[in-house]
Amino acid sequence: MSRVPDYDAVVIGAGFAGLYAVQKLTSLGFHVAGFERGEDVGGVWYWNRYPGARCDCESYYYSYGFSQDLQQDWTWSRRYAEQPEILNYLGHVADRFDLRRHFRFGAAVETLVFDEADEIWRVRAQGGPTVTARFVISAMGCLSAVNWPDIPGIRSFQGRLLHTADWPHDRVNFSGRRVGVIGTGASAVQAIPHIAREAAHLKVFQRTANWVLPAWNRASDPDFDAWVKAHYSEIRERCATSPGAVPFDAPTQSALETPEVDRQAIYQKYWDLGGMRFFTAFTDMFSNLEANATAQAFVRQQILKIVNDPETARALIPTTHPIGVKRPPLDDDYYETFNRPNVNLVDIRNAPIIEVVGQTVRTADADYEFDDLVVATGFDAITGALLALDVRGRGGVTLQSRWREGPSTYLGLGVAGFPNLFTITGPLSPAVLANMPTAVEQHVDWIADCLDHMRREGIGVIETTEAAEADWVSHANEIVGQTLYPHAESWYFGTNIPGKPRRFGVYLGGFGAYSDRCDGIAQAGYEGFRFTSAPN
């Protein structure tokens, strides 16, 4: 027999996903409690305050589309807004829709236990009382569990120790300092040029060279902004239906079938446009090694043109993976930074960092002393935040044991054996390979429709079936196998975390097609889900 819970739903996280989930559910009359471990809203944009932090999707579509008034009223100052502006935007959203009052801040959820007798979730945050809810909605983020590398002694570094994903709120001044940066992923690539401009000396420890593309960030153009505002409905619709949740045309021509001279011109055109649009040049960039090699050759030439020292240029050219299949960072003078006299690249591929002692980073062949050490080693992505909790479903089974071989979900939304638990942008959804605000809105809308449907029908429990989950996992894996993604070790596979099972965590079937499929499933009476029980 069900018991009346404290809340209809608990939402965990106050980033793009949690804020919209709370807005949407409360607007439908659900009684909702939000929990956020940070002291305020913002998610990624609350934590990642390193210099140079900004979005890599252009702001006019890396933003909410759910409110016509909001998108008409808000004006972005840059093509890709910087972290303070995005944080300000999310704060504005929280104020505008009066969302903060639903949240407890500084409240890290530690346990989620499904009570089978009462058909409710028992939720406990650090130091807080247990609350009960019919539904739990995870909005804990794909890139929110900080990854500290397992380098002995690193946490005891005797200078100033900083992690890009947990950056101090006060400005960090690097003037006159000897700085080391570990990592060359998207966070490091954004931070390095800014640190280099201030520091006395900067050394960048690179384990794997990355393909870096130009962002060409710039101040917003008022004419373009006016055009966007006049066309927002079409822009959002294009995002909703495109493979990457972006308002751009998908490619139509094959790189291999395009003559070399035209191919170069097309790559140049997309290089000059900037950003991830480079990957909309040709249809076969992600499926054919030979086609991908033509893109690599183009970018290799750009690196050689920009970087003055031939040895540094050679070290910066990736050799380990095709372009695009390990998240390519977007730069703001990244390659140019290595022409500065105060910057050195330390290639640690063959001489890894062995330990940190006092203020010294020790590699297999040298010691380097620093005042500041910036750790830009990313996240335990996609599953990290969820698996940090003690989550128990039916029969007391833990999520950790269910996902021992890697994450397994239906649509990235639900897990068999964990009733009434929804995961926004969860594992095996398009999530991090789509423009995320669009992906978030699609999931929240789908979940809200489902809860509304259950309320109208007097249904208390929804649960994905094991068969639907197994089919989804094998469908998602099959698509990965048709792409070049398995040619790179990456956080998409979880291989950045020692001991984590190697399973691709993202659905590659395209956002638009995925979204249609979710709608079709709902229209077919939530195919693949099982409904049981009626609440009091």
Which residues from 24-43 bind ligand NAP, rule CB under 6 A?
none
323 near ligand NAP, rule: CB under 6 A:
no
Whether 104 and 446 have beta carbons less than 8 Å apart is answered as no
102 binding ligand NAP? (CB under 6 A)? no
For ligand FAD, the closer CB: 393 or 460: 393
Smallest distance, Å, CB 480 to ligand NAP?
A: 17
- Closest among 518, 521, 515 to 244, alpha carbons compared: 515
CB 247 within 8 A of CB 238: yes
Residue 421: contacted member of ligand NAP, ligand FAD, none (CB under 5 to 8 Å, by partner type): none
Piece of 187-195, 307-315, 415-423, 504-512 that binds ligand NAP (CB under 6 A): 187-195
140, interface contact from ligand NAP, ligand FAD, none, CB < 5-8 Å by kind: ligand FAD
Q: How far is the CB of 507 from ligand NAP (least distance, A)?
A: 16
Helix/strand number for the chain, H first, E second? 16, 20
Quote the tokens at residue 535. 């609440």
59 near ligand NAP, judged by CB under 6 A = no
CB atoms within 10 A of CB 494: 23
Both tokens of 148, joined, read 């500290």
User: Which of 182, 313, 323, 462 is the binder for ligand NAP (CB under 6 A)?
Assistant: 182
Q: Which of 43, 378, 426, 430 binds ligand NAP (CB under 6 A)?
A: 378
Please list, in sequence order, all residues whose beta carbon lies within 8 angstroms of the beta carbon of residue 383, skipping any fewer than 6 positions away: 403, 407, 427, 494, 505
Residue 327 site contact among ligand NAP, ligand FAD, none (CB < 5 to 8 Å, cut-off depends on kind): ligand NAP
* Contact window for ligand NAP (CB under 6 A) among 376-384, 397-405, 502-510, 515-523: 376-384
CB 57 within 8 A of CB 434: no
Q: Are 85 and 62 in contact, with CB atoms under 8 Å apart?
A: no
CB nearer to ligand FAD: give 361 or 433: 433
Q: Is the distance from CB of 266 to CB of 281 less than 8 angstroms? A: yes
**Contact partners, residue 307, CB within 8 Å, separation at least 6:** 313, 316, 335, 338, 339
- The 257-296 site mask, x for binding ligand NAP (CB under 6 A), equals ----------------------------------------
Q: 376 or 416: whose CB is closer to ligand NAP?
A: 376
Rounded to a whole number of angstroms, the minimum distance from the CB of residue 149 to ligand NAP is: 3
Report, in Å, the least distance between residue 51 CB and ligand FAD.
12
Structure token digits, residue 212: 């870096």
Angle (CA) 66-68-74 rounded to 5° is 100
Find out whether 223 and 201 touch, Cβ atoms under 8 Å: no
Instruction: Decide which of ligand FAD, ligand NAP, none touches 109; Cβ closer than 5 to 8 Å per partner kind.
Output: ligand FAD
> Please, which residue, 44 or 488, has the CB nearer to ligand FAD?
44
Dig out the tokens for 50 from the structure: 């390193």
Q: Which residues bind ligand FAD (CB under 6 A)?
A: 12-18, 35-38, 43-44, 46, 48, 53, 55-57, 62, 108-109, 139-144, 187, 385, 389, 425, 435-436, 440
Outline where DSSP puts E strands in 93-199: 103-105, 109-115, 120-125, 130-138, 160-163, 178-182
| Residue 167 touching ligand NAP (CB under 6 A) | no
Asked if 124 is part of the footprint of ligand NAP (rule: CB under 6 A), the reply reads no
Q: Is residue 377 within the footprint of ligand NAP (CB under 6 A)?
A: yes
CA distances from 506 to 148, 412, 434, 503, 509 (A): 23, 8, 10, 9, 9
CB 303, min distance to ligand NAP, A? 16
Taking Cα atoms as reference points, which of 380, 376, 384 lies closest to residue 163?
A: 376
Is position 185 an interface residue for ligand NAP (rule: CB under 6 A)? yes
Please, which residue, 86 or 307, has the CB nearer to ligand NAP? Answer: 86
Closer CB to ligand NAP, 395 or 498, in the complex: 498
Stretch that binds ligand NAP, among 227-235, 295-303, 370-378, 399-407 (CB under 6 A): 370-378
| Distance separating the N- and C-terminal Cα atoms of the chain | 8
Q: How far is the CB of 425 from ligand FAD (least distance, A)?
A: 5
Closest alpha carbon to 374 in 172, 531, 117, 181 = 181
Cα distances from 13 to residues 49, 161, 193, 408, 411, in angstroms, run 18, 26, 31, 22, 20
Query: Taking contact as CB under 6 A, which single stretch among the options 186-194, 356-364, 410-418, 510-518 is the one that binds ligand NAP?
Result: 186-194
**What would the DSSP string read from start to end of 32-63?**
EEEEESSSSS-THHHH---TT-B-SS-TTTSS
> Binding ligand NAP by CB under 6 A: which of 54, 79, 122, 238?
54
Among 8, 36, 56, 331, binds ligand NAP (CB under 6 A): 56
Ranges of beta strands (E only) in 19-140 are: 32-36, 103-105, 109-115, 120-125, 130-138
Pull the structure tokens for residue 382: 């996609």
CA 473 – CA 485 distance, rounded (Å): 16
Report the residue number, 204 or 255, with the smaller CB distance to ligand NAP. Answer: 204
Q: CB of 77: closest distance to ligand NAP in angstroms?
A: 16
> Which of 187, 292, 294, 438 touches ligand NAP (CB under 6 A)?
187
Applying CB under 6 A, which residues contact ligand NAP?
A: 54-56, 143, 149, 151, 164, 182-188, 190, 205, 207-208, 327, 353, 376-379, 432, 491, 496
